[in-house]
Structure 1
Amino acid sequence: MISRYFNPYTDFGFKKLFGEEASKDQLIDFLNQLLPLQHQIAELSFKNPENMSDTLDERKSIFDIYCQNKTGERFIVEMQKAKTQFFKDWSLFYSTFPIRDQGKKGLWDFYLLPVYFIAILDFKYDEKEDERKFRRDVCLKDQDGDVFYNKLHFKFLQMPLFNKQEHELVTHFDKWVYFLKHLEDFDHIPAILNEPIFQKGFDIAEVSHLNSDQYDAYLKSILSYNEAKAVTDTAFDEGKLEGKIEGKIEAMHSVAKTLKAQGITVSIIALSTGLTEQEIEELK
């Protein structure tokens, strides 16, 4: 059953909500919640990310939204629906595109305008649970924690880690995150989101407002989203199973070593652990 509002984690939903001229004010409002006062956006224009890529393969995997404000700062806004191997490397690699885009032919003093890479993630990329943070604001710092370079910024939002309920929302940023995380689940506009900027978002996201071509595109986007999530979940489950098997084998090796050190015969150790006699003989 299709929900009343579309899934903003799909390519279609995300670009419809933030990546069109008609929804530009929403993108500006959302970005301004993440940006420092000196880089607040009044106006912006969308840029074609494919113009920055050198190869066809790069164009196939280019980011969702690339835009620039009137003073020249560049912004990459990416919605990642499935966990990506080497995600941090991936983010750093793609942040170099708007840097290279500023290069000028002929004499150039290498002056650069700020670049922001903003990633909204439908997964947890931190492996260690005690190190997980919903929001991470990253820039280059030296060994004393002082900012070394203030023109390259990364902002990561691990959406599964945002657990605030409606009554706990305090800031406008809280409301945006709550809106994005729960949009597909709403069947009406919550009172706390009954503001013009969110009312417009709900209006754009209402599936019944899509024409037939848009609806077909959305269904394809849902399929792509579900496939990506399924592949990631399967790989994760297989990894957990493989880890359990490896752990069990290591435990049996440990038991076998202990029994072997106590002078127990190899045949009895094999019966006790399930290891072959050859495996036991090779244990040191």
Structure 2
Amino acid sequence: MPDKITPGPGKYIDPLVDFAFKKIFGSEPNKDLLIAFLNEVFRGRKHIIDLVYDKNEHHGDIKEEGAAIFDLLCTGDDGEKFLIEVQRGRQGYFKERSLFYTSRLISDQAPKGRRTEWAYKLSGVYLVALLEDFTLQTEKSTEYLHHICLCNIETGEVFYDKLGYTYIELRKFVKTEGDLETDLDKWLYVLKNMSHMDKIPAYLRKPIFDKLFNIAEYTNLTKEEKTMYDSSLKYKWDNKNVLDYALKEGFEKGIEKGIEKGIEKGIEKGKLEEAKEIAREMKKDGLPIAQISKFTKLSIEEIEKL
């Protein structure tokens, strides 16, 4: 197996690493960043004024159904649900998983227990997925932004506008600094390249981007946050080395289908294993179990077993 690539942190944290994404976009003091980004994604089709963060774990109606773990789940000022996901590697049945997650958020709106007057009045549900290292089986297309909705297949007319899926294929976003035209271009360029920058570029000198770069500066993290980010970054690169090696070996031996299946199963468990790895590092540093639980979302029982 090749040597592991374990680069150290740069001046700015990588926004696409799990911890960093939630640090930047997933806390109440920083929700203006998420609102600004989502408003650019929706390009005037929606205008979000405020967001409330919801729990990122959604339990099914029956015990056997298990829980869905979201990266970020928010409720808009009109009661709409926004599910924001970062997907780093290819995953089997990713489209189906998107449908399953949003379906849960729809069915959860039904009154529980005693029947009440409801009449199926639903709030909107929207998924925004940032795809880092894979595409949606549209390799020939250069389009990186996909807005999906229910429509009439014959006329293209929108049938229902309160359920939407936005997929952003960052691998296909290849614009350079000179190509950036819209604020969405700037957001996507920053998400993809911030960890390699050593200062905020002049063309990003707006209050919202000033705040983004200030939050993302590695030296501004607390000791606990540095531990979590370093572990999260190490996990990302270790995982990439393993997947790259598995694919290389599989293709050379002509067993790529089996290798890809194994990779898909591994990615399914990735977020949980990443959280456990971060928790182990925090335990080594002597941080309180309750604080580790708060940061990693693992239960105290799970952490004590590590």
TM-score bucket of the superposed structures, by smaller chain: 0.7 to 0.9
Q: Deviations over 1:27-56 (max 9, x none)?
A: 000000122535311111001132444559
- Select which of 182, 205, 227 maps to 2:216: 205
Query: Which stretches in structure 1 are left out of the alignment for 5+ residues?
Result: 247-284
Whether 1:40 and 2:61 are equivalent positions in the alignment is no
Q: Distance in 1 between matches of 2:122 and 2:181?
A: 36
Q: Distance in 2 between matches of 1:228 and 1:197?
A: 32
Whether 1:99 and 2:106 are equivalent positions in the alignment is yes
Q: CA deviation at 1:89?
A: 1.2
Q: Which residue of 1 aligns with 2:97?
A: 90
Q: CA deviation at 1:161?
A: 0.7
Q: CA deviation at 1:96?
A: 1.5
Q: Deviations over 1:87-144 (max 9, x none)?
A: 1111111112221221213132112111110001112223352135311100012221
Q: CA deviation at 1:220?
A: 1.3
Cα contact 2:57–2:70 (8 A) shared by 1: no
Q: Which residue of 1 aligns with 2:20?
A: 13
- Select which of 102, 105, 110 maps to 2:120: 110
Q: Distance in 1 between matches of 2:167 and 2:45?
A: 20
Any residues of structure 2 matched to 1:1-284 within 5 Å, and which? 1-35=8-42, 37=44, 39-53=46-60, 55=63, 58-59=66-67, 62-105=69-112, 106-107=115-116, 108-144=118-154, 145-243=156-254
SS of corresponding position for 1:68: strand
- Give me the identity figure in percent: 36
Higher mean displacement: 48-57 or 197-206: 48-57
SS of corresponding position for 2:42: coil
Q: Distance in 1 between matches of 2:165 and 2:241?
A: 28
Residues 164 and 236 from structure 1, CA distance in 2 versus in 1: closer, same or farther, beyond 3 angstroms?
A: same
Q: CA deviation at 1:223?
A: 2.2
Residues 129 and 50 from structure 1, CA distance in 2 versus in 1: closer, same or farther, beyond 3 angstroms?
A: closer
Q: Distance in 2 between matches of 1:170 and 1:135?
A: 15
Q: Deviations over 1:165-192 (max 9, x none)?
A: 1111111111111111101000011111
SS of corresponding position for 1:37: coil
Residues 56 and 165 from structure 1, CA distance in 2 versus in 1: closer, same or farther, beyond 3 angstroms?
A: farther
Query: Which stretches in structure 2 are left out of the alignment for 5+ residues?
Result: 1-7, 258-306
Q: CA deviation at 1:65?
A: 0.4
Cα contact 2:9–2:230 (8 A) shared by 1: no
Tell me the TM-score normalised to structure 2 length: 0.74
Q: CA deviation at 1:212?
A: 0.8
Higher mean displacement: 106-115 or 188-197: 106-115
Q: Distance in 2 between matches of 1:134 and 1:165?
A: 15
Greater Cα radius of gyration, structure 1 or 2: 1
Residues 186 and 57 from structure 1, CA distance in 2 versus in 1: closer, same or farther, beyond 3 angstroms?
A: farther
Residues 57 and 198 from structure 1, CA distance in 2 versus in 1: closer, same or farther, beyond 3 angstroms?
A: farther
Q: Which residue of 2 aligns with 1:255?
A: none
SS of corresponding position for 1:189: coil
Cα contact 2:150–2:163 (8 A) shared by 1: yes
AA in 1 matched with 2:13: F
Q: CA deviation at 1:193?
A: 1.0
